């Protein structure tokens, strides 16, 4: 609360040419409070200052050097909110706000390739004119821990929200032009999938974790069960997966491809499925926990079967 003397000083300083932001900082109040005071005293407010491109650069640089957004705003004659908007547009991590590694997918490490695959399958990139792009992914509540892993990889402190009580599900979303552009550039929705991903087992494990299934099934009731793997997706994704397997020498020609509603489904069973599961999941650092457990069970059972064959051991 300003005293009568401070109110008079605020009016005098503003009429002398000082900016409302600087006056507000000196008195420990908001710029809006000073503006309201001036209006009550019948003082005509000057046109709000708009930052030039060089001033925006300066604001971002000063903030990364440790200055507060309030002090920067006061010195440039704008509001604290204006500076925050500049920082968000420049994707500068704001202290005290949610953190995010916007460059997490830039080097395609094994982990980055995996999460690209998972986001290709289950993630979405939302773009709207006038807004920064959003990357989001939703999963069943039982897989919430996997979103925790993704959040940790991205260095994020954003919340994982519950989006449905009737059918328990959760969602994780971040705002990042850089992450969105990276995913789109790697082929998320159209064009060829980047070669660094198309030839990566980590990428394809991420895709299968998102839009695939693995397990042991019998072809007839009561019959023997064998390994099976399936992947659902666009035609170009299925074709790239098949090419990856052929080039690896694992399989590919044995994949059965059919349409499933408006998407394609590729799958195989038996030894071919076991070889693919072995390729994708053996000694994998990052994977969906329940699918990794299923994969390890299949590989363990297959190893026991091989050991028991005549002439073994």
* CA 80/CA 85 separation, integer angstroms: 9
* Element containing residue 169 per DSSP (H, E): strand 169-175
Exposure letters 72-109 (e unless 16+ CB within 10 A, then b): bbbbbbbbbebbbebbeeebbeeeeeeebbbebbeebe
Tell me, yes or no, whether 196 lies in a domain.
no
Quick one: 251 and 301 in the same domain?
Answer: yes
In total, how many domains does the chain have? Answer: 3
Quick one: 211 and 278 in the same domain?
Answer: yes
Question: CB within 8 A of 112, min separation 6: which ones?
Answer: 104, 105, 106, 153
Among 89, 118, 148, give the residue marking a domain's end. 89
Quick one: 85 and 120 in the same domain?
Answer: no
More confident residue, 189 or 260: 189
Q: What is the pLDDT of residues 227-270, one digit of tens each?
A: 999 999 999 999 999 999 999 887 766 788 888 778 899 999 98
CATH code of 170's domain: 3.10.28.10
Q: What is the pLDDT of residues 111-144, one digit of tens each?
A: 999 999 999 999 999 988 877 899 999 999 999 9
Quick one: 181 and 267 in the same domain?
Answer: no
For the ranges 95-104, 150-159, 214-223, the maximum mean pLDDT occurs at: 150-159
Q: List C-alpha distances in Å: 170 to 111, 144, 148, 167.
A: 22, 7, 11, 10
Tell me, yes or no, whether 129 lies in a domain.
yes
**pLDDT of the residue at 252:** 64
Tell me, yes or no, whether 118 lies in a domain.
yes
Tell me, yes or no, whether 212 lies in a domain.
yes
Give me the percent of the chain exceeding a pLDDT of 90: 50
Tell me, yes or no, whether 94 lies in a domain.
no
Residue 309 pLDDT exceeds 50: no
Quick one: 210 and 303 in the same domain?
Answer: yes
Taking all residues of the chain, what is their mean pLDDT, rounded to a whole number? 87
Tell me, yes or no, whether 173 lies in a domain.
yes
Among 190, 218, 239, give the residue marking a domain's end. 190
Q: What is the dihedral of CA 283, 288, 290, 295, to 10 degrees?
A: -40
Cβ atoms of 237 and 268 closer than 8 Å = no
Per-residue pLDDT band at 48 (split at 50, 70, 90)? low
Quick one: 220 and 302 in the same domain?
Answer: yes
Work out the end-to-end distance of the chain between its first and last CA atoms, rounded to an integer number of angstroms. Answer: 87
* DSSP letter (8 states) at residue 248: H
**pLDDT of the residue at 311:** 44
Structure-token match 């693919």, residue found: 276
Tell me, yes or no, whether 42 lies in a domain.
yes
Quick one: 215 and 174 in the same domain?
Answer: no
Tell me, yes or no, whether 303 lies in a domain.
yes
Q: Which domain holds residue 222?
A: 205-308
């Amino acid at each position: 609360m300003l005293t009568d003397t401070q109110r008079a000083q605020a009016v005098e300083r503003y009429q002398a040419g000082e900016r409302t932001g600087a006056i507000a900082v000196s008195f420990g109040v908001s710029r809006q409070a000073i503006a309201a005071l001036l209006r009550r005293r019948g003082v005509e407010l000057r046109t709000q200052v708009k930052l030039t491109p060089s001033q925006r650069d300066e604001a971002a640089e000063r903030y990364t050097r440790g200055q507060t957004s309030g002090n920067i705003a006061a010195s440039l004659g704008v509001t604290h909110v204006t500076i925050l908007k500049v920082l968000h547009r420049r994707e500068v991590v704001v202290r005290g706000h949610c953190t995010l590694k916007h460059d997490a997918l830039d080097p395609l490490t094994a982990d980055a390739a995996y999460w690209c695959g998972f986001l290709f399958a289950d993630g979405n990139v939302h773009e709207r004119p006038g807004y920064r792009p959003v990357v989001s992914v939703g999963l069943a509540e039982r897989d919430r821990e996997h979103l925790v892993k993704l959040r940790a990889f991205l260095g994020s402190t954003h919340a994982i929200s519950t989006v449905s009580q009737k059918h328990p599900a959760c969602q994780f979303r971040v705002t990042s032009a850089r992450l969105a552009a990276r995913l789109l550039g790697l082929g998320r929705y159209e064009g060829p999938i980047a070669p660094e991903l198309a030839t990566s087992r980590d990428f394809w494990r991420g895709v299968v974790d998102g839009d695939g299934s693995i397990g042991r099934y019998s072809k007839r009731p009561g019959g023997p069960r064998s390994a099976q793997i399936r992947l659902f997706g666009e035609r170009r994704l299925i074709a790239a997966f098949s090419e990856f397997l052929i080039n690896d020498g694992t399989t590919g020609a044995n994949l059965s491809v059919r349409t499933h509603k408006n998407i394609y489904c590729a799958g195989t069973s038996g030894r071919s499925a076991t070889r693919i599961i072995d390729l994708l999941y053996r000694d994998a650092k990052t994977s969906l926990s329940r699918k990794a457990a299923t994969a390890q069970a299949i590989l363990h059972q297959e190893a026991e079967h091989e050991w028991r064959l005549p002439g073994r051991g």
